[in-house]
Amino acid sequence: MRHIVFLSGGIGGARLLHGLAQEIAPESLTAVVNTGDDLVHWGLRVSPDLDTVMYTLGEVADQARGWGLRDESFRALEMMKRYGEPSWFSLGDQDLATHLVRTARSAGGESLTSITQSLCAALGVGCRVIPMCDQPRCTWIDTVDHGPMPFQDWLVKHRAPAVAGVRFEGSAHATPEVHDALSRADLIIIGPSNPYVSIDPILTLEGVRDRVAQTKVVALSPIVRGKAVKGPLGEMIRALARREPSPQAIVDHYAGLLHGLVVERGDESAVREIPVLGTSTIMGGRDDRARLARELLDFADAVG
């Protein structure tokens, strides 16, 4: 049976995954999700990328914001402000339930993998969604002017000041479930996520990159017309790779891993050396995501 592993960060990856989930039998698709962005906030364990993937696949995500749940309210946040608690990271009232469950079950000894599986089941998510790690692995951003800070402090609290480097601290062990999924994969898809802070945390886990290198890999470019589709990736490529953002910068970043890259139509000539498919990559609703997933799967079948 065909088995596809999808490496994902937050919203971009989640949307393509939502398309793939409409095209592939659930048992043939496993999403391995970055947990380097995880944080403890108000004493609660928050896994933003896992939640974005889970909410998007469960069709309960807020589309406009790109994180959290739709029809959300923030009354608990208002009360926390009144108590003088930190309010820079907005946890919604319904979203709080996810973090309460995750925190309570973790305290009871249940693994993040197992907790995620039961949250996904409750939301009607069909394919397998697994965290890259069960133990904390924290993405640290070294900034040019303000020293090192954990990822969410850098992105949300300080609004992405200039980056000098990216590091990962904590566990370097992927879960047995991740190793098992990768060993069964006949295709690995890398979502249009930030390679530095969403995909590298996964690829740098012990044994993962070597395993990925043994499989056919295709990716969707997170760079369109020289700009990041979302977030600070463009500035990171300039600062860390010392070049202008382009789909070729993504190919080079993955250093020999990719067998094909899907780019925005018109960006094809920016890619050398590997097969490229140009199409409309800015994902709209459900049907558009499925269309892009279908095109990507056909392209993956055609590349060597």
Residues that bind ligand FO1 (CB under 6 A): 9-10, 37, 46, 48-49, 51-52, 67-68, 89-91, 95, 152, 155-156
1 or 64, CB closer to ligand FO1?
64
Nearest distance, CB of residue 232 and ligand FO1, angstroms = 10
Cβ of residue 237: shortest distance to ligand FO1, in angstroms? 17
Burial 85-120 (b: 16+ CB within 10 A, else e): eeeebebbebbbebbebbbebeeeebebbebbbebb
Q: Are 138 and 147 in contact (CB under 8 A)?
A: no
Sheet containing strand 128-131, strands side by side: 128-131, 29-33, 4-8, 187-190, 217-220, 260-264, 276-279
As a whole number of angstroms, the distance between CA 36 and CA 132 comes to: 9
**Which residues have CB under 8 Å from 156's CB, separation 6+?**
88, 89
DSSP 210: H
* Closest residue to ligand FO1 using C-beta atoms: 10
Surface-to-core class of residue 48, CB atoms within 10 Å of its CB (0-12 exposed, 13-18 middle, 19+ buried): buried
Whichever of 9 and 247 has its CB closer to ligand FO1, that residue is 9
CB 65, min distance to ligand FO1, A: 8
Beta bridge partners, 167, equal 140
Q: Which is nearer to ligand FO1, 259 or 289 (CB)?
A: 289
What's the closest the beta carbon of residue 202 comes to ligand FO1, in angstroms? 13
Nearer to ligand FO1, 46 or 138 (CB): 46
State the amino acid at position 201 in one-letter form: P
Question: Which of 55/299 has CB closer to ligand FO1?
Answer: 55
Min dist CB 28 to ligand FO1, Å, is: 25
